[in-house]
Structure 1
Amino acid sequence: MGKGGDSSGGRANGSAATAPQESFFGDLKKGVRGVKQDLEVLKNIWFKSLKADVDHAARLEGFYSGQAAQYDKFREHFLWGRRPMLAATAARLRETGRKDLVWVDLGGGTGRNVEMMADYIDLKHFKKIYVVDLCGSLCRQAEEKVAAHKWRNVEVVEADACTFKPAVKADLVTFSYSLTMIPPFLSAVDNAIDMMADDAILGVADFFVSGKYDSPLRRMSWIRRFFWRATFDTDNIDIGPERRAYLEHRLQRVMEVNSQGSIPYVPYLRAPWYVWVGQKGKPGVDVDLENELHHEAPPRFPPTFLYTQSWEDPRPDMEVLKINSDDVVLTLTSGGCNALNLCLQGAREVVTVDCNPAQSALVEIKKAAIEHGSYEDAWKLFGEGKHEDIERLYERELAPWLSENSLKFWNSRLHYFRGGLYYQGGMGMVVWAMAVLCRIFFLTKTLDKFVHAPTLEEQRKVWLGCWAVRLFLHAPAFLKWILSSLCGILFLNRFVMWFGGGVPLKQLELIEKDGVHITEYVGRTFHSAAMNTHVRNDNYFYYNCLTGRFSKECCPSFLTQHGFQELKNGKIKNLTVANNFFVPELAKRKYSKVIMMDHADWLPVESCEELAQTLGKQVVKGGVVIWRSASYEPPYAKLVEKAGFKVKCISRADKVDCMDRVNMYASFWSATKL
């Protein structure tokens, strides 16, 4: 027994010892095999000569026959546009709610697109899927997939994309890296459109080069145009701009992405690719040309947004504006919360504009989450600021509806929703730094009591009982001066105020002209808000700052269940997001209501004059303009008055206990067009 046991134990230990070695050598052999297969594909791509005296089908067979079995594995890290195209088309198909769809994948190759599509929509929703390809070797691979997956609704058809006709009209037609390999592409596109139902969509993913004077987001240098077109031409792949131009001649574009991706075993070079989704209707595009421009933030702006929420209290705004169903409203974007609230108030159109494309990206993703997602997901994203499955949600539900500028922003910043959205951006860094300082100065428990105080009276007691507040309120004058100076230098300097608080130099100068020290200004802001507004139940601005999230009892209107549902039911469609400067967007159309926030505080005198004159031209008679200022008497108020408005100061910080729930400005103004 003992000997047997020892022998058994020895074998077990030996087996355990050799297991890692076997695993290592197994992985090594697998890796070597994979490289060998990739090299076989590369040999066919780079070195195999194609006969010129044969038809297109024979050329395709000659090109793919030696690499068909390895096609999917190699292209997985090369054809970067496939998944975004499938996600975008699937998102639009899901919106229909139908379960009898027909999909024709022209140039569908090995059927890999069908496997991928299953990640975005249940394949049972398709009554019929046609995988059409002219290359027999690729069709055999597709047939093997159909058999392996036991797809009863998928049919592999070895046929020409220019002549194939499905039995019924298609709801979706796709060209996935195939249109550039079809010489008679005009016929292929015409045939695709002929087979589309009236409400069908067409999706294309492929490589490309731009035209010399192409759309700004497509445009590339002459050397890139020459290099990539010549490189792909060696494999009979024509990536010129003509195919996309013809698509837009025949169809209406509803979505487009232009990007670039890596190439296996080719370091540094990144091949340009695009995704294009179109539908029947008026040929061309259904987006404002302004959104096709390559937008960059103005100089000295951070590479992300400054504000994660809007820092103007909408409650007094609504009392002054009295929004109605005939209103066309222009507002600055900021965090987008107030623009969404204007939609909820019933405005016919709300145009939200910002020169920082990151702010537009933030409101765009909020809009997409409301319009195409669930309340539960929207609450996680923008209520809690975190989502445990953000990558999948973004790919399936959000990205298909974003503009290209916003896609480029969010593609590299999904980690914001893992670490907490409200700790990101300029203001988010201030919130994070505040939390750190509270821990350093042992204020965490006090602030927790403050935030969760059940009544305003209890909140006041906690606030006035805090040692830091008592120090600033009751310290001798000379000590207050020292503390104010230190705070001004360390925490309220120009760098922190701009990159953290979004307060530019010109606004700081306005505060100084009123004879108010920046430390006194900030102290007045917080003290009055703490003494006059109940943070736990009513002041979601500071609740968010102190906790890094909202609560369902204390949040912007778009995050309430009622507000979310009203927006989703149609009011969200009244929101237009514009990447632009304020005055050019103001000049585009007539407005009945304009919300300038503190925009004019940022401007030099000549720009304020232009702003006032444009307001005079674009605001209709009886229309109302409102703004806030860090100054008691902003100098541009007289310019607005000269432009044909009756100007009124609604409130001033030196004449009231508390301006509003934010209490961040020195004055609040309205102007009515005469």
Structure 2
Amino acid sequence: MLRLCAAELRKRSGGAKPIWIDLGGGTGWNIEQMDLLYGIANFEAVYLVDLCQPLCKVAEQRFQSKGWKNVKVICQDALGFVLPELAGQDSGRIDLVTMSYSLSMIENFHPVVDRISSLLSPQTGFIGVADFYVSGAAGPSGHRDAEKAGVLGYQCNWFTRVFWQHWFEFDHVYLHPSRRNYLEHKFATHKALNCRNHFIIPYLIQMPYYVWIGRPGYPVESKPLQLARSVTTHSNCAVAGVSPPSSPDLPPVISPKHYMQVSVPKHSQQNRSAISHKPDINLGPSILSTSSSSNAQGATSYTQGWSRLPYQPTKPEHSQFSTYIYGFTWEDPQRDLEVLDLRPGDNLMVITSAGDNALAYAAHQRGLTIHCVDMNPCQNHLLELKLAALRSLDYGTFWRMFGLGSLPNFAHTLDSTLSTELSSSAYQYWRQNTHAFAPRQSALADLVLGDLNHSNLYTTGYSGVALQYLRVITKMFGIHQATQQLVAVPSLAKQAGLWRDKIRSRIFSSIVIRFLDNPVAMWQFMGVPINQWNMLRSEGSMSQYVRDTLDPVFHSTPCATSNYFYHLLFARQYSPDCCPDYLTKDGFSRLQQVVGKGTDVLSPTFHLHTATLLDTLNGMRDGEFDKAVIMDHMDWFSPEDADSEVVALARVVKKAGFVLWRSAARNPWYIAVFERHGFTVEALDVRQPNSMKPLDRVNMYASLYKATKL
């Protein structure tokens, strides 16, 4: 909590010295720790407020020994305390209030929370809380700020809710959910983290606690945003001068390009005709749930090169995912860029995946608007982390995170630096998955498993499981050393020789082919769904497909210098000579300008939609996109699903715009669906059996198609 507060102070202060009240501060430990994180000399004044005289005496002695003249101990009640220098003039003057395990000890807590609200500065003030809690029987889904209100890990089981509430009451500590509910009612949630203290017996006895950062109220725009776009209504609500109502089931969606557009949720598409063209509309704070901050007037403005659109984490389509499927993107952006012909002002829609290709497009061409869409929140969490790291980290740290996939002090970096750039949901996810960059190593596991116990970002997620199984297979078949040489030899001729003489026959053994010819295995370890697997098998055997994929790759592109896809596959990390463009120094520098490092960005490049592709399309206006890159997405569909999505694409892709996709089939069945709904389809690349010419550096797909809107 203190690290998060220190990070916020660094971002918000603007050179001014803040005023801090540690409410229920006890012996002053918090203040001593904050000196290490932010520096007590950087505060105008620090006040420790506590009712217990013996604790206050310890605090006074502690501060005297430090020689701090700007720290005062106030031994008074939390509700009626008076700040000596600000007596009667403290309203709206305080920048930070913290409460460490003190909110749960205050019996009459409502007026105390109200008092804090009156003390905090409307522009720069915020509150930090760390405390135990229990949830109610119902979750916080009805909360007006539900996306940020800490729903991830919030809910407690029946035993936890009942047992800990009564247990703590023996010591006059009150964990009733009304305390946290009132806190989140009174303040806008900025960051929230729900955890369990595995007390005495790990995973059996779990004490719920939370860390929470809030801001005063829900600020109203000081002046209307100027819209260059039309604003679509929510249901039948007239929008002239008012904001669409927010609902826990129908979250508003914003789709900014140069400014901002409010779009209709899927449930209200029948009302698409209700459109206001009034240029001056106050959108209101309820829909601006993006990566933003408040300016001096309390208005919300973009300060990053991206926005994260609101979503409901508890919805089944999102809650089914506990991690990302793809820790890296398995489509070659080099070939995409040859086809896309990107120009400043282009508006793109792409599948997020791991975000690598969206970053490649933005690094290649400035002035793009890129809508990144994924139903799995964790995929957007991964892209958001990369964007936050681009904005706030130096190149060396960025390389360690995403080049090597490892950062031993990741938790500290996340709290102290990255947290201010992340949405609450992304912060929660990474705070609870710090092992992705800083794995908890076991000496016994290292002894038994050797390098199979190696873990980093790229061995996590479903794609990481595939990398781990590949390592097991290469060791089992005695080709591990050869695969390591494969990613090290700079000569293409030597690489081809290694593949041909030492690896190929083992990889194409009957056992491996049988494994790959199992649809369950393909889904669990390769992320290939049954519909795509059926398309692949309808045009030939799995053995033929694997040969057509791998043989051309290892005879055409060196894995040591240019084919970073297969380099990662075998090395489980990138190298400075073989990595995606966004990981090079030049790509990093270009992307830092895109995300606005050190500057404010009015019009973000990236817009992260946590939704199905169809729901996102249904929320866009006609002719919204110049180009759409949907990877192999259509391979996953049934005919009914494909028809609905192509109809939506036909509406939102402008005339002469196009859709780009890859397929596991040479002749995918849904070409006819595109043609039926107003597209002309062109086969850009089709892989022929036994051909030694790869379609791109991955060569995993059998075809690349372009559908142009007529």
Q: With structure 2 as the length reference, what TM-score do the two structures score? A: 0.72
Instruction: Give the Cα–Cα distance (whole angstroms) in 2 for the partners of residues 437 and 605 of structure 1.
Output: 37
Quick check: 1:330–1:594 contact (8 Å CA) kept in 2?
A: yes
- Once residues 353 and 203 of structure 2 are traced to their aligned partners in structure 1, the CA distance between those partners, rounded to angstroms, is 40
- The answer to whether 1:387 aligns with 2:407 is yes
Cα distance in structure 2, aligned partners of 1:439 and 1:234: 58
Task: Select the residue among 315, 318, 324 that pairs with 2:334.
Answer: 315
Question: For the structure 1 residues 540 and 230, does the alpha-carbon distance in structure 2 shift closer, same or farther, using more than 3 Å as the test?
Answer: same
1:274 maps onto 2:210 in alignment: yes
- Write the letter of the residue equivalent to 1:322: D
Paired position in structure 2 for 1:363 = 383
2:628 corresponds in structure 1 to 594
1:87 aligns with 2:3: yes
Q: Report how many residues are paired.
A: 576
2:100 to 176, 201, 208: 176
Change (3 A) 1:110 1:498: same
Verify the 8 A CA contact 2:409 2:438 in the aligned structure 1: no
Q: Which residue of 2 aligns with 1:526?
A: 550
Deviations 1:92-145 (A, max 9, x none): 223346473322212222222223334533444334321122332332232233
Amino acid at match of 2:522: M
Q: Specify the alignment match of 1:582 in structure 2.
A: 613
Aligned 1:77-156 pairs, distance under 5 A = 85-96=1-12, 98=15, 100-118=17-35, 120-156=37-73
Confirm or deny that 1:189 pairs with 2:113. Answer: yes
Max radius of gyration: which structure? 1
Give, in whole Å, the separation in 2 of the partners of 1:508 and 1:495: 10
Q: Deviations over 1:570-616 (max 9, x none)?
A: 52754344443332233333441322111111122222122222223
Q: Deviation of residue 416 (structure 1)? A: 5.1
Name the structure 1 match of 2:353.
334
Confirm or deny: 8 A CA contact 1:416 1:424 kept in the other structure: no
SS for the counterpart of 2:694 is: coil
Q: How far off its partner does 1:314 sit?
A: 1.0
- Find the aligned partners of 2:485 and 2:40 in 1 and give their Cα distance: 52
CA offset digits 1:624-669 (Å, max 9, x no partner): 3221110111112222232333322221112882211111101112
- Once the 2 structures are TM-superposed, how far is the Cα of residue 370 of structure 1 from its aligned partner? 2.5
Mapping of 1:275-314 within 5 angstroms? 275-280=211-216, 282-283=218-219, 286=289, 288-293=309-314, 304-314=323-333
Give the letter aligned to residue 59 of structure 2. A
Structure 2: stretches of 5+ with no match in the other structure: 142-150, 220-284, 291-308, 440-454, 597-603
Which SS does the other structure have where 2:37 is aligned?
coil
* Contact 1:132 1:157 survives alignment (8 Å): yes
Residue identity in the other structure for 1:126? F
Contact kept, 8 Å, 2:663 with 2:702, in 1: the verdict is: yes
SS in structure 1 of the partner of residue 360 of structure 2: helix
> What is residue 535 of structure 2 aligned with on the other side?
510
Contact 2:23 2:49 in 1 (8 A): yes
Matches of 2:128 and 2:344, distance apart in 1: 37
Contact 1:215-1:292 within 8 A present in 2 as well? no
**Contact 2:407–2:437, Cα closer than 8 Å, also in 1:** no
User: Residue 411 of structure 2 contacts residue 431 of structure 2 at CA under 8 Å; is this kept in 1?
Assistant: no
- From 623, 630, 635, give the equivalent of 2:669: 635
- 76, 79, 85: which one aligns with 1:159: 76
In 2, the alpha carbon distance for the partners of 1:551 and 1:374 equals 18
* Matched residue, 2:590: 566
Which residue does the alignment assign to 1:615?
Answer: 649
**Matches of 1:569 and 1:440, distance apart in 2:** 46
Residues 160, 206 of structure 2: 8 Å contact kept: no
- State how far apart, in whole Å, the 2-side matches of 1:512 and 1:459 are: 33
Q: Which residue of 2 aligns with 1:545?
A: 569
User: Alignment partner of 1:414: what SS?
Assistant: helix
Contact 1:259 1:272 in 2 (8 A): yes
Cα distance between partner residues in 2 of 1:546 and 1:116: 44
**Native 8 Å contact 2:387 2:595 kept in 1:** no
Answering whether residue 382 of structure 2 is matched by residue 466 of structure 1, we say no
SS in 2 for 1:466: helix
Distance 1:450 1:222 in 2: 54
Partner of 2:460: 424
SS in structure 2 opposite 1:311? coil
How far residue 245 of structure 1 moved from its aligned partner, in angstroms, is: 4.8
Alpha-carbon distance in 1 for matches of 2:413, 2:202: 32
Distance 1:268 1:184, change over 3 A: same
Following TM superposition, by how much is the alpha carbon of 1:526 offset from its aligned partner in structure 2, in angstroms?
1.4
Question: CA 1:298–1:154 in structure 2 vs 1: closer, same or farther (change >3 Å)?
Answer: closer
Cα deviation per residue 1:248-298 (whole Å; 9 max; x = unaligned)?
A: 555432212233435579995534333322234735763554154366778
Structure 1 residues 174 and 436, CA gap change in structure 2 (3 angstroms): same
Name the structure with the higher helix share: 1
Whole-Å Cα distance in 2 between the matches of residues 540 and 507 of structure 1?
25
SS in 1 for 2:73: strand
Q: Give me the whole-angstrom Cα distance separating, in 2, the residues matched to 1:266 and 1:487.
A: 39
The equivalent of 1:663 in structure 2 is 699
Q: RMSD over aligned Cα, in angstroms?
A: 3.5
Task: Say whether the 8 Å CA contact 1:450–1:462 is kept in structure 2.
Answer: no
Deviation per residue, 1:25-65 (Å, 9 max, x gap): xxxxxxxxxxxxxxxxxxxxxxxxxxxxxxxxxxxxxxxxx
Which residue of the other structure, out of 521, 525, 533, is the alignment partner of 1:500?
525
Q: 1:352 aligns with which of 364, 372, 390?
A: 372
Task: Rate the CA distance shift 1:575–1:162 in 2: closer, same or farther, 3 A.
Answer: farther
2:432 is aligned with 1:411: yes
Alignment of structure 1 residues 250-265 onto 2, 5 Å: 250-262=186-198
Identity of aligned residues (%): 32
- State the Cα deviation string for residues 57-83 of structure 1 (Å, max 9, x = none): xxxxxxxxxxxxxxxxxxxxxxxxxxx
Structure 2 letter corresponding to 1:307: Y
The answer to whether the 8 Å contact 2:160/2:207 transfers is: no
TM-score relative to the length of structure 1: 0.75
Do the aligned partners of 1:251 and 1:281 also contact (CA within 8 Å) in 2? yes
* 1:253 partner SS: strand
Q: Secondary structure at the match of 2:528?
A: coil
Rounded Cα–Cα distance in structure 1 between residues aligned with 2:489 and 2:36: 46
2:390–2:595 Cα contact (<8 Å) kept = no
Provide the C-alpha distance between the structure 2 equivalents of 1:176 and 1:620, rounded to a whole number of angstroms. Answer: 54
The one-letter code of the counterpart of 2:140 is: S
1:356 and 1:439 map into 2 onto residues whose CA distance is: 33
Task: Give the superposition deviation at 1:195.
Answer: 3.3
Contact 2:552 2:692 in 1 (8 A): no
Letter matched to residue 647 of structure 2: Q
Residues 341-387 of structure 1 deviation map (CA, whole Å, 9 limit, x = unaligned):
24433355433333334434433433333333332122112101222
Letter in 2 for 1:195: L
